[in-house]
Structure 1
């Protein structure tokens, strides 16, 4: 059986070496092509993905790879095992040297969010390692997350997937719902911070894809918190692990708090 935690840590080491090889904004942000996820693929995106894919291929596993840049690709004979990876979540931060971006990697025994059995998010700024295991809880740097739950009253709301226009359009609706806003630049890490109780809720104003959330959502759900893809068909757990479905997202400590956010975002 594959030790996915050891595998993830090896990927972190490889990506860290690529970051050192490409230390400046000039080197990192040159666009090389359009990724299968629809966003521009930069040098740093491509370099990070290549080292992860190389490690996967070396394992010799039969799996379905779902990746930011390559899209959906069969490894070996393919099959129900899914590896969902965003090698650089928060790539704008990474390109500019802002230390808040991550490797997001999820392992699933099927094709939906409910099938995710292992989630791994590594923060390249702080060095923190976030791990979720289906039925086994959520962990930060090897310790179980047992922090106080985020409050029913939302003091800090994290906006992600943002542009100036999106913030200007939606921030007024949050008055009376959230006291403070934060915009940090990595959806995977923001969901991890929710799992740790550091923020009270997260909204993604841009339609999110499975690669953005597959790993971190496991930590959120293992903590018993609410998360919704409110523009998707069907329940959250049935969301496919692919690049086709896109939906805005809300997550909070309770279903009621999450519902208030969804209502405000849809107004």
Structure 2
């Protein structure tokens, strides 16, 4: 029987080396085609995807893959579903900004409630965040270090720029930013949420429908295992579960505890 946690860790470790080598040599920075979900792909995106696919399909013979570049491929009746964002933060990587990652999820069904394993690798530091259902989370080689910040006024938040650019969410975003101690934006959702797990920040906010499942499902799965919490936002409210193959339809509030998450969420209802 395949050890899915070890398989995910192997894939993340190898893909980090491959991507770093492609960027160091220069060929990884070449713009390529438009991916299945409409975003520009670089050579490092494509080699990352191919590397993960080769490792996963070598061990899991009956699997469906959902990836940012390829879309949905593989078995029509799989034993496992694997959700991949080959490089989250491609624009950062292409500009030499050292904040980008790879995310991977293994699930028993197309529904997020059936996720078994999730993992994220920080390509620059090499830190891996990984865990499996009913187990623990390894964060940067150690234990999670969620902060105990429970009030917005004491918090350091990551706030997606889309929350401000979209006028539907601007006032809500402004209230969050003005009430927080400090806010920033780094352009790699997966790492930004993982920074909550490692205690570097106190929360992540993207208020509008600008995220796809492969952007955030791995880190929020890990955050929940580590004792944190999240709210998946839709135009109609809050969703408990989502389809792994859904498009750009979601926002996310992620926090180390329910108190902070609800304070952020409830600002939407304030006059």
- How does the TM-score come out when normalised to structure 1? 0.86
Runs of 4+ in 1 over 6 A off after TM superposition: none
SS in 1 for 2:181: strand
Q: Which runs of 5+ in 2 are unaligned?
A: none
What is the CA–CA distance in structure 1 between the aligned matches of 2:134 and 2:234, rounded to whole Å? 27
What is the CA–CA distance in structure 1 between the aligned matches of 2:180 and 2:131, rounded to whole Å? 27
| Aligned match for 2:188, one of 176, 186, 189 | 186
Question: 1:198 corresponds to which residue?
Answer: 200
How big is each residue's C-alpha offset from its partner over 1:190-241, in whole Å with a ceiling of 9 and x where there is no partner? 1111122321110125521111112111111112322112216686442111
Gap change, CA 1:163 and 1:98, over 3 Å in 2 = farther
The 8 Å contact of residues 18 and 47 in structure 2, kept in 1 or not, is answered as no
How big is each residue's C-alpha offset from its partner over 1:3-35, in whole Å with a ceiling of 9 and x where there is no partner? 3343334333244234313337x7444432221
| Aligned match for 1:259, one of 255, 258, 262 | 262
The 8 Å contact of residues 150 and 197 in structure 1, kept in 2 or not, is answered as no
Q: How many residues align?
A: 264
The 8 Å contact of residues 212 and 250 in structure 2, kept in 1 or not, is answered as yes
Gap change, CA 1:175 and 1:47, over 3 Å in 2 = closer
User: 1:202-213 to 2 correspondence within 5 Å?
Assistant: 202-205=204-207, 207-213=210-216
The 8 Å contact of residues 101 and 123 in structure 2, kept in 1 or not, is answered as yes
Asked if 1:249 is matched to 2:252, the reply is: yes
Q: Which runs of 5+ in 1 are unaligned?
A: none
Gap change, CA 1:232 and 1:210, over 3 Å in 2 = farther
What is the CA–CA distance in structure 2 between the aligned matches of 1:235 and 1:205, rounded to whole Å? 11
What is the CA–CA distance in structure 1 between the aligned matches of 2:268 and 2:158, rounded to whole Å? 13
What is the CA–CA distance in structure 2 between the aligned matches of 1:219 and 1:264, rounded to whole Å? 26
- How does the TM-score come out when normalised to structure 2? 0.85
